[in-house]
Amino acid sequence: MAQTPATPALGPAKALVCRECGASAALGPHYACEECFGPLEISYDFGDVTRAGIEAGPANIWRYRGLLPVPPNVIDTPNTEPGWTRLVRADHLAESLGIRTLWVKDDSGNPTHSFKDRVVGVALAAARELGFKVLACPSTGNLANAVAAAAARAGIRSAVFVPSNLEEQKIITTAVYGGTFVTVDGNYDDVNRLASEIAGEQDDWAFVNVNVRPYYAEGSKTLGYEIAEQLGWRLPDQIVIPVASGSQLTKIDKAFQEFIKLGLVEDKPYRVFGAQALGCSPIAAAFKAGHDVVRPVKPDTIAKSLAIGNPADGPYVLDVARRTGGAVEDVTDAEVVEGIQLLARTEGIFGETAGGVTVATLRKLVQTGLLDPDAETVIINSGDGLKTLNAVAPVARPSADIAPTLEAFRASGLA
- Of residues 364-403, which lie at the interface with a copy of itself (CB under 8 A)? 384-387, 389, 392-393, 396-403
- CA 243-245-247 angle, to 5 degrees, is 80
Report how far residue 358's alpha carbon sits from residue 366's, in angstroms, rounded to the nearest whole number.
12
Shortest distance, position 337 Cβ to a copy of itself, whole Å = 10
Q: What is the DSSP letter of 65?
A: G
Report how far residue 374's alpha carbon sits from residue 61's, in angstroms, rounded to the nearest whole number.
31
- Closer by beta carbon to a copy of itself, 26 or else 408: 408
Report how far residue 196's alpha carbon sits from residue 179's, in angstroms, rounded to the nearest whole number.
19
Q: In what order do the strands lie in the sheet with 24-25?
A: 24-25, 13-18, 40-44
Shortest distance, position 203 Cβ to a copy of itself, whole Å = 11
- Closer by beta carbon to a copy of itself, 249 or else 391: 391
The gap from C-alpha 406 to its chain's centroid, in whole angstroms, comes to: 48
Shortest distance, position 155 Cβ to a copy of itself, whole Å = 6
- Closer by beta carbon to a copy of itself, 160 or else 320: 160
Q: What is the DSSP letter of 224?
A: H
- Closer by beta carbon to a copy of itself, 289 or else 415: 415
Is 56 near a copy of itself (CB under 8 A)? no
Is 4 near a copy of itself (CB under 8 A)? no
- Closer by beta carbon to a copy of itself, 159 or else 286: 159
- Closer by beta carbon to a copy of itself, 171 or else 262: 171
Shortest distance, position 146 Cβ to a copy of itself, whole Å = 9
Q: For the chain, how far is it from start to end, CA to CA, in angstroms? A: 68
Residues numbered 95 to 124 that lie near a copy of itself (CB under 8 A) are 106, 109, 111-113
Q: How many CB atoms neighbour CB 338 within 10 A?
A: 18
Report how far residue 108's alpha carbon sits from residue 86's, in angstroms, rounded to the nearest whole number.
9
Report how far residue 81's alpha carbon sits from residue 395's, in angstroms, rounded to the nearest whole number.
35
- Closer by beta carbon to a copy of itself, 45 or else 201: 201
Q: Rounded to a whole number, what is the largest CA-CA distance in the chain?
A: 78
Shortest distance, position 390 Cβ to a copy of itself, whole Å = 9
Selection from 358, 336, 351 nearest residue 387 by Cα: 351
Instruction: Give bridge partners of residue 206 from the DSSP assignment.
Output: 135
Is 89 near a copy of itself (CB under 8 A)? yes
Shortest distance, position 111 Cβ to a copy of itself, whole Å = 7
Count of alpha carbons within 13 angstroms of residue 325, beta-carbon side? 10
Shortest distance, position 78 Cβ to a copy of itself, whole Å = 7
Residues numbered 141 to 160 that lie near a copy of itself (CB under 8 A) are 148-155, 159
- Closer by beta carbon to a copy of itself, 45 or else 185: 185
Please select the residue that binds a copy of itself; options are 14, 92, 234, 291, rule is CB under 8 A: 92
> How many chain residues are in contact with a copy of itself, going by CB under 8 A?
80
Residues numbered 290 to 329 that lie near a copy of itself (CB under 8 A) are none
Q: What is the DSSP letter of 195?
A: H
Residues numbered 323 to 362 that lie near a copy of itself (CB under 8 A) are 340-341, 344-350
Residues belonging to the chain = 415
Please select the residue that binds a copy of itself; options are 4, 202, 310, 332, rule is CB under 8 A: 202
Shortest distance, position 65 Cβ to a copy of itself, whole Å = 18
Tell me, residue by residue from 158 to 197, as one string, x for binding to a copy of itself by CB under 8 A and - for no binding: -x----x---xx-xxx-xxxx-xxxxxxx---xx-xx--x
Indicate the pairing of strand 40-44 with strand 102-106: unpaired
Residues numbered 66 to 85 that lie near a copy of itself (CB under 8 A) are 78, 80-81, 84
Q: What is the DSSP letter of 406?
A: H
Shortest distance, position 194 Cβ to a copy of itself, whole Å = 5
Shortest distance, position 213 Cβ to a copy of itself, whole Å = 20
Indicate the pairing of strand 86-89 with strand 377-381: unpaired
Residue 332 CB contacts under 8 Å (≥ 6 apart), including other chains: 277, 278
